[in-house]
Amino acid sequence: MVVDGAERRAFAEELAVEAGELALSYQEQGDLDVRAKGVLDWVTEADLATERLIRRRIGDAFPQDRVLGEEESESVPQAGSGHATWVVDPIDGTTCFVSRLPSWCVSIACVDGGGRPFLGVIRDPGGAETFSALTGHGVTINGHDISVPNRGITDGLVGVGHPRNAPDEPTLRFLQRLFAVDGLFYNCGSASLALAYVAAGRLVGFFESDLRAWDALAGEVLIRESGGWSTRFMRDGSMTTSKPVLAANRGSATALWDMAREMFPGCAGPEQHSAE
């Protein structure tokens, strides 16, 4: 299926800003209606309203497309079905959102009919920043092209997420290995935003042992278009299973891969990047 990437990118950027403003308006009102999905795993009226807005806008603009969202997930095709699919998280970092911390974002990705993510837009409403990438067209922040320096793992911070509903051991093992080489870690509370920071050169890498498609796909496109490296979330053709994710700029990729490669059986490492 041929998709009109430039049109979708412009649409997604505008939609992410609109969705972010809606979510921010709920946060500013106070007294949010919050429902627990698990331990420190919450959904708010803002999540639901923002996802409904995103779905409505996509349905109006691209009625032939499908949508996979965190709050109102639906059956989506496997890779190769011929359908384009939007993958959205209306508020990634809901715990931070509820706690009135700035580390949350709107994440929008688009996957073509062959299972290849080709568009990623992440909007940080608090910072008024839109990170955007389209395959073959690089990365922008608020419309400005960026050039990302390559830095080693001791030249900056490595983002590390801690999934609530997965074993602790992979995260602890990764942190032990990072500490052994004098690395430092940062957890901003939003995997999507952390991946955007890797693409922007603010973090040298990111690891989380268990992510969903709506947390990972937009950031993957951003990082690859920035010249960095990321494991491919769609490596098994599925959007609906959770997976570990590792990403880095080119200067840190090999070292971080060496710390985590056994957690990614069958996944191509950075040394195989050019052949993927």
CATH of the domain spanning 157-275: 3.40.190.80
Of residues 160, 173, 260, 175, the one with CA closest to residue 207: 160
**Which has more pLDDT, 138 or 37?**
138
Tell me how crowded residue 258 is: count the other CB atoms within 10 A of its CB. Answer: 12
Average pLDDT over residues 240-250: 95
In this model, does residue 36 exceed pLDDT 60?
Answer: no
Angle between helices 45-61 and 5-29 (to 10 degrees): 160
Give residue for tokens 């919450």: 42
Q: Where in the chain is the domain with CATH 3.40.190.80?
A: 157-275
Confidence of residue 263 (pLDDT cuts 50, 70, 90): very high
In this model, does residue 251 exceed pLDDT 60?
Answer: yes
Q: How far apart are alpha carbons 137 and 6 in whole angstroms?
A: 9
pLDDT more than 90, % of the chain: 70
CATH of the domain spanning 5-145: 3.30.540.10
Average pLDDT over residues 19-26: 93
| One-letter amino acid of 247 | A
In this model, does residue 70 exceed pLDDT 90?
Answer: no
- Helix, strand, coil shares, percent, the chain, to 5: 35, 25, 40
Rounded mean pLDDT of the chain?
A: 89
pLDDT at res. 39: 43
pTM: 0.91
In this model, does residue 274 exceed pLDDT 90?
Answer: no
**Phi, psi at 219, each rounded to 5°:** -65, -35
Q: Where in the chain is the domain with CATH 3.30.540.10?
A: 5-145
In this model, does residue 21 exceed pLDDT 80?
Answer: yes
pLDDT at res. 72: 62
pLDDT at res. 268: 86
Average pLDDT over residues 216-233: 96
Query: In terms of C-beta density within 10 A (0-12 exposed, 13-18 middle, 19 or more buried), how is residue 256 classed?
Result: buried
Q: How far apart are alpha carbons 27 and 22 in whole angstroms?
A: 9
